[in-house]
Amino acid sequence: MKMKKIIAILATSAMVLFTLAGCAPKITQTKTNNSNAVSDNAKEGDIASIKPKNPITLTVYSQLANFQGEQTGWFAKVLLDKFNVKLNIVKDGDGVFATRLESGNLGDIVVFGNDSTDYQTAVKAGALLDWNKDNLLDDYGPYIKAHMQMALEKNKSISGGHVYGFGHDVGSTATEHSAPFYGPFIRWDLYKQLGYPKINTLEDFIPLLEKMQQLAPTSDTGKKTYGVSLFKDWDGNMVMFVKATAALYGWDEFGFGLYNVNTGEYQDALKPGGEYLRMLKFYNTLYQKGLLDPNSMTQTFDDVTQTYKTGGAFFNIFDFMSSAIYNTPDHLKAGKAMMLLVASDQKNVAYGLNMYGGNRVWTIGAKTQYPELCMAIINWLSTPEGVMTNNYGPKGVTWDYDKEGRPILTQLGEKAMSDGNTELPAPYSGKFSDGVDEINNTTWAIDSKNPDAKNGDTYNYKFWETRQSLPVSSIEQDWRDKMGVPNLDQYLVKNNQLAISLGTTYSATPMSNELTTTWNQVKQIIVNGSWKAIYAKSDAEFDSIVKDMTNQAYAHGYEDCVKYQQHEAEIRKSLDDKVRSK
């Protein structure tokens, strides 16, 4: 998924959450000093010595970007003031990587969507800069070197003994998990009107959504409502919403299939009676009953966001597409909200903080004329100030620290978090949402500890101590009273309904060219076949489409893909077991 865009959406949530430690096994980490006591030069390197006299433009090729062109808004202003640079964002697309690699210049800063296929190709082609060359990391990446040792070691281990970067969402500890974002989330006000019926399993949501549709047949804009609205922008090896719904039962996406984060079991996507086909049938049943938005296969992420924002659908598995955008001040004041409602048999996936980092890699192109500047920018984005600024805007404008050293949102910051259309004052310009970092990658995980916060707060504003006394609406209080806890984290832990995906050094084994070709063919068969199955008008038609999809997949080499993924599952499980044994 497009994670930075998700984080930007999460920032609009009006829910008040409380701090909660995770359940992952403990790994000892090196204790670091509170960085308030460390000078900016020690954290950032000597930026003044490399800051150009005249503004320059750096090309950032990001496989995660949703935007192409010059970075705008407050983030552009921050970078111009601090580094005297502008960013030209180049997003990925069909043939973009191959074309740029063939040209010999991937870009100044290069962000990969994973650390296997394209990344490994770039490493072998010599297209990336070794961060240890000419003391680049020592001199201009001091904060990264001091605080992200394990992430750097992971990169070294998968890069032939060289360090070319590090993966996203680095965790400050392995003893906690990121805030869960899987739900499902439903219209709690309608659920309340229906008398809070018990939901035992996923399929029990179907009759519930039928009744909700009867209670609220039209949206805020007068359009017909549906139980669910989907989009296909983020489809990969499988239909995104289908495979992601399996996360409600402890299954994480893994190649052409799913990986059980508790047991290490791998289940291929087309296994009869398996979780992927179960979730596929769930959405088909919704379609057959008139509960699935018929535009789901053709509309975009932005279209679906607008649907949920205006109350056009009642159920979504993600918080960032439901409560985060529907629970506006106006809706809450009117007693309306989307809130968590889990089935009795669920085990929601939550991701353990990973000190090794994830698989979306920050790197520097080998042909850049400004290696020091690129390194300094990535390093600054990894400092507490950089992380806070990247997520919440300019320091002193939308956020700051109080006299006790606790992170706070300013009045403007509170408004910006609940409404991305909030205008920023001079010297900044435009709406808060206009300035979202278009590189679309992260350095530290949002739930990692912020060492500049003297009270031990994380980077996640929802958990800040200074926000815990904020009042909640009557509908939110109703949810708290009914569930017996103040937030979804505590509910899932209290009821033993979390499945933690552990942070390890796992990185996918590069595929052969032949397998890559086979994989891409099978991927299209599964994605296209899955959408056809969702729109089947009867159970018989659904079964026929799934059978045809399965036969086509096997005819094009699906079995070879599964063998590869089964081997990958064995590697992942062995690394999980090592973490659990510590």
User: What's the CA dihedral at 23, 24, 29, 34 to 10 degrees?
Assistant: -40
- Determine if the peptide bond prior to 394 is cis (ω within 30°): no
Closest CA to 524 of 555, 549, 560: 549
Residue-level pLDDT at 286: 98
Task: CATH number for 3-10+39-175+355-467: choose from 3.40.50.300, 3.10.129.10, 3.40.190.10, 3.40.50.720.
Answer: 3.40.190.10
Determine contact, residues 339/158, Cβ cutoff 8 Å.
no
Q: Which helix (H) or strand (E) is 385 found in, with range? A: helix 384-392
Residue-level pLDDT at 12: 39
Closest CA to 501 of 579, 564, 565: 579
Return residue ranges of the chain for CATH 3.40.190.10: 3-10+39-175+355-467, 182-351+476-501
pLDDT along the chain (582 residues), means of 10: 43 34 32 45 84 97 95 98 98 95 97 94 97 96 97 96 97 89 97 98 98 98 98 95 98 97 97 98 98 97 95 97 92 97 97 94 98 98 98 98 97 91 95 96 96 96 89 95 92 95 90 95 98 98 98 98 97 94 81
Residue-level pLDDT at 45: 79
DSSP secondary structure, 499-524, as one string: EEE------PPPPPHHHHHHHHHHHH
User: Fold for domain 182-351+476-501?
Assistant: D-Maltodextrin-Binding Protein; domain 2 (3.40.190)
Question: For residue 218, what are the β-bridge partners?
Answer: 224
With the C-alpha atoms ordered 163, 167, 172, 175, is the resulting torsion angle positive or negative?
negative
Residue-level pLDDT at 39: 60
